[in-house]
A and B are shown apart, each in its own frame.
Chain A
Amino acid sequence: MRKFLSAVLFFITCTLGAQNVSDLIISEALSSPDSTGILDGYGRRNGWVELFNKSTGTVSYGGCFLTDDRMNLKKSLIPKSDQRTKLGPRQSVVFYCSGNGADGTFYAGFKLEPGKTVYLVSNDGRTVIDSLAIPASLPAGRSIQKLAFDLRQQVFEPQADPAIPSPGILNGDQDSTTKAQIMAENDPHGLTLTVVSVAVVFSALAILWFLFWLLFDRRAKKKTAGHDGTPKRHSRPDRESPDGEVVAAIALALDMEASGDDYAAIAAAVHLYLTEAIHDVEPGIVTIRRTESSAWNNKTLTFRQLPQHENL
């Protein structure tokens, strides 16, 4: 059984690892730079590919491949040993397509050309994680991008129109407005949010109330109700005495010494004592207390009785 669970855990771990790499997308590509294009580390202008991590966790992409040839998926290896091959949540990284992968970690061993498709391949060398087709008509100095209208949708669609390149920057203006800003614009006095929130809080707790009333409270009351519908009295023998009040009074008397935990415990004890007649379990130890004065330690009682003369 333990081996089976270990195997399941191993499988889940592997699956999660694979899911991490699958969170990467090719978010943007530019095949023909113009004179305003970005320079690589060697001062050259090349086409480039931008990878984007759409997840909320860090993804390690070392060992994956970039290629522009469907028949050769292992064309350009992203070095596995480089510690920089980790991409934070909602972050992007740019690879220069210089045609020589030996230029560095962030260089691909092929030149990007219009009309081709660029692929991101998993570290198994077989699974295509994502691809982006570069239109043959893509003008120089323009890129092709993928956009999601809302990052939570996690669905990125390639845009038909060429875009102004934004290497290393989130495409579009998805995060330009925060929720608070939207709220300030749409609900400046906060009334809508208040009404909605109060309704949600009440709904959540009302559902809880209704469910427990339906499942337990109603049944329990039916069970404890007598023939005339009034609640049955509990069978605790000394019900007449005001024990509940005494116990609660003790709880209050402890006011100066007890902490919050004690109060919760006392409250629970009062409840149990009143309703279930549950009492603390006694330790069962009999102690003998030394008594100061009692008939039992009266010395006169330990004296031997004097013989009495009787008149025979």
Chain B
Amino acid sequence: MDQIFQSLSQFWEYTGFANCSWQNLVMIGIGLIFITLAIVKEWEPMLLVPIGFGMIVGNIPMFPGLNIGVYEDGSVLNILYQGVKQGWYPPLIFLGIGAMTDFSALISQPRLILIGAAAQMGIFGAYLLALLFGFAPNEAGAIGIIGGADGPTAIFLSSKLAPDLMGAIAVSAYSYMALVPVIQKPIMLLLTNKKERLIKMPTPRTVSKKEKIVFPIVGFLITAFIVPSGLPLLGMLFFGNLLKESGVTRRLANTASGPLIDVVTTLIGLTVGASTQADKFISVKSLMIFGLGLLSFVIATMSGVLFVKLMNLFIKNPAKKINPLIGNAGVSAVPDSARVSETVGREIDPSNHLLMHAMGPNVAGVIGSAVAAGILLSFLG
């Protein structure tokens, strides 16, 4: 009988109940909130469901040494996590993004590229603030990239610059990407007046197939020569796009934009979520990262909108003016931020459709954030 009680007592020590701490419960609660937001509100469900569930997986309290945790060498989760840690997943996701992105909106109005550059101010604004709050330069760079509003880029850069902060940075980046409509709209309304919001932009011109094929090649050559450290992201992005636009590699493009990106997104979401183990995640630093992440989104949105207003000062022809409501789309949360432009634009004039115009700076933002990540990597890596 004693032996039975002893065995039961030993078994109890291995259960989650015996090893549970309040931090685990907090993280499980956050995971559940993520899943709820994804299912009920449909905010970035492809990301928030895997991340949210990963948070629950990673925070199941367990007896250490069972070799099943994400940070324990050789465990299944640890092996899958290597794709995040070593930075394999983000370039593969960029391959898929490239294969599903239509750059026509950008090619037809090349001037909108500059808005994508302006919105990257969010990255460097957050970098300056992080330094001010006492983060080391490499940590500040990794935190700043949240302002790029690009999850894979944030994971890629933080895995190189500050692996210890990667969990908090990735969760912060994806959370704010899901909250883009909530964060951006008030800023856009604050920085624009009615007259500006009513600006109707001319219909973009037709883009030829030749232009679409040339764009990924020229785009890659220019950006990669300027920032070679961004090669993994830029190379994959433009390669994926060439697969799509060349028209002769449809099967490869379909695989990259379909099954491949789905598999990698599932794994990256789950393992990033699982990496938020309470003992490594709940800290003052994590809270500061969340705060700085929010500020970086705010700065990025403001920069984009204000830059459009600045551009309008130099555009004399009223018919060619740019609606500042597409400035927010310079952050690369594709296509959510472009959708915000459309929604806010239609609220004041239901006949004013900005979606197609906003897609230009939106995809430029993807390139811009990858370039910015490359610069930070070359300076701080």
* Chain A interfacial positions (CB closer than 8 Å to B): 178-180, 183-184, 187-191, 193-194, 196-198, 200-213, 215-217, 220-221, 224, 231, 242, 244-245, 248, 251-252, 256, 259-261, 263-264, 267-268, 270-271, 274-276
Q: How far is the CB of B254 from chain A (nearest CB, A)?
A: 12
Question: Contact flags (1/0) for B109-133 with A, using CB distance below 8 Å?
Answer: 1110110111011011001100110
Q: Report chain B residues within 8 Å CB of A252.
A: 342-343, 346
Interchain CB contact under 8 A, B355 and A267: yes
Q: Which residue of A lies closest to B367 (CB)?
A: A205
Rounded to whole angstroms, the CA-CA distance of A268 and B102 in the bound complex is 7
The answer to whether A200 and B355 touch (CB under 8 A), given A193-B127, A264-B102, A267-B105, is no
- Tell whether, in the assembled complex, residue A263 and residue B339 are in contact, meaning their CB atoms are under 8 Å apart: yes
Instruction: Note all chain A residues with C-beta closer than 8 A to B116.
Output: 205
Residues 135-158 of chain B, each 1 if its beta carbon lies under 8 Å from chain A, else 0: 011101000000000000000000
B203 touches A274 (CB 8 A): yes
The CA-CA distance from A248 to B346 in the complex, in Å, is: 11
User: For the complex, is B336 an interface residue (Cβ under 8 Å from A)?
Assistant: yes
Contacts of B227 in A (CB 8 A): 200, 204
Q: Is B381 an interface residue (CB 8 A)?
A: yes
Task: List residues 327-360 of chain B with CB under 8 A from any CB of chain A.
Answer: 334-336, 338-339, 342-343, 346, 351, 353, 355-356, 359
Q: CB distance A194 to B124 under 8 Å?
A: yes
A274 to B222, CA, bound (A): 31
Task: Give the complex CA separation of A217 and B132 in angstroms.
Answer: 43
In addition to A193-B379, A196-B379, 5 A-B residue pairs with Cβ atoms within 8 Å of each other are A183-B137, A194-B127, A213-B111, A261-B100, A268-B102
A207 vs B346: C-alpha distance in the bound complex, in angstroms?
Answer: 33
Q: Which one of B137, B138, B339 has the highest number of Cβ atoms from chain A below 10 Å of its Cβ?
A: B137
Cα–Cα distance between A276 and B208 once the two chains are bound (Å): 10
User: A179–B380 contact, CB under 8 A?
Assistant: yes
A268 to B106, CA, bound (A): 12
9 pairs of residues in contact across A and B, judged by CB atoms under 8 Å? A180-B137, A180-B380, A197-B124, A197-B372, A201-B368, A201-B371, A212-B211, A245-B353, A263-B335
CB pair B128 A275 closer than 8 Å: no
Question: Which residues in window 167-219 of B have CB below 8 A to A?
Answer: 202-206, 208, 211, 214-215, 218-219
B101 contacts the other chain (Cβ, under 8 Å)? yes
CB-based contact B364/A205 at 8 Å: yes
Range for the number of chain B residues in contact with chain A: 35 or more
Give the contacting residue for A202; candidates B114, B127, B338; CB below 8 A.
B114
> In the complex, which residue of chain B has the Cβ closest to the Cβ of A218?
B110
State A271–B128 Cα separation when bound (angstroms): 40
> Hey, what's the 0/1 contact readout for B301-320 against A, CB within 8 Å counting as 1?
00000000000000000000
B223 at interface by CB-CB < 8 Å: yes
Q: Is B375 an interface residue (CB 8 A)?
A: yes
- Asked if B128 and A248 make an inter-chain contact with CB atoms under 8 angstroms apart, the answer reads no
- Cross-chain contact A260 with B204 (CB below 8 angstroms): no
Name the one of A197, A215, A248 contacting B342, with C-beta atoms under 8 angstroms.
A248
Contacts A205-B113, A245-B353; A198 near B124 (Cβ below 8 A): yes
Question: What is the CB-to-nearest-CB distance from A29 to chain B, in angstroms, rounded to a whole number?
Answer: 33
The smallest C-beta distance from A240 to any residue of chain B, in angstroms, reads 14
A197 to B334, CA, bound (A): 23
- Chain A residues near B118 (CB, 8 Å)? 202
Among A184, A197, A210, A274, contact of B376 (Cβ-Cβ < 8 Å)? A197
Check if B376 sits within 8 Å of A202, measured CB to CB. Answer: no
Report the nearest A residue to B354, measured CB to CB. Answer: A248
Judge whether B206 and A275 touch: CB under 8 Å.
yes
Residues in A whose Cβ lies below 8 Å from that of B108? 217, 271
Q: Which residues of B contact A180 (CB under 8 A)?
A: 136-138, 161, 380
Closest chain B residue to A192, Cβ basis: B379
CB proximity of A152 to chain B, nearest CB, Å: 11
Bound Cα distance from A178 to B204, whole angstroms: 48
> Closest approach, in angstroms, between the C-beta of A203 and any C-beta of chain B?
7
Which residues of the other chain, B, contact A276 by a CB distance below 8 angstroms? 206
Q: How far is the CA of A82 from the CA of B188 in the complex (A)?
A: 66
Q: Give the docked Cα–Cα distance between A179 and B204 (Å).
A: 45
Kindly identify which residue among B42, B136, B356 contacts A256, using a CB–CB cutoff of 8 Å: B42
* Residue from the list A191, A205, A216, A221 in contact with B368, Cβ < 8 A: A205
B111 to chain A, nearest CB (A): 6
Q: Is the contact region of chain A dominated by helix, strand, or loop, or is it mixed? A: helix
Q: A201-B372, A201-B375, A205-B368 are in contact. Are A275 and B121 (CB under 8 A)?
A: no
Contacts of B371 in A (CB 8 A): 200-201, 204-205
Residues of B within 8 A of A201 (CB): 117, 120, 368, 371-372, 375
Asked if B104 is an interface residue, CB under 8 A from chain A, the answer is: yes
Q: How far is the CA of A113 from the CA of B99 in the complex (A)?
A: 62
CB distance from A202 to the nearest CB of B (A): 5
Contact B120 A198, beta carbon cutoff 8 Å: yes
- Say yes or no: A264-B101 contact (C-beta < 8 A), given A190-B127, A212-B107, A270-B353: yes
Chain B stretch 211-267: residues in CB contact (< 8 A) with chain A: 211, 214-215, 218-219, 222-223, 226-227
B136 touches A184 (CB 8 A): yes
Decide: A208 and B219 in contact? CB cutoff 8 A.
yes
The 8 Å CB contact of B107, one of A189, A190, A216, A221, is A216
* Cα of A206 to Cα of B223 in the assembled complex, Å: 11
The 3 A-B pairs of least Cβ separation, nearest first, read A180-B138, A248-B353, A205-B117
CA distance A184 to B140 in the complex (A): 11
A216–B124 contact, CB under 8 A? Answer: no
- Bound complex: CA of A224 vs CA of B379, how far in Å? 45
Q: Complex formed: what's the CA distance from A263 to B45 in Å?
A: 15
Residues of A within 8 A of B46 (CB): 259-260
Chain A contacts of B336 at CB under 8 A? 260
B381 touches A179 (CB 8 A): yes
Q: Once the chains are docked, how many angstroms separate the CA of A212 from the CA of B381?
A: 32
- B202 CB to closest chain A CB, in angstroms? 8
CB–CB A267/B335 < 8 A: yes
Complex Cα distance, B353 from A220, in Å, reads 23
A245's closest neighbor in chain B, by CB? B351
Residue of A nearest to B224 (CB): A204
Name which residue of chain B comes closest to A211, CB basis.
B218
Cα distance, A30 to B374, chains bound together (Å):
42
Q: Which residues of B contact A215 (CB under 8 A)?
A: 214
Cα-based distance from A263 to B105 in the complex (angstroms): 13
A303 shortest CB reach to chain B, Å: 54
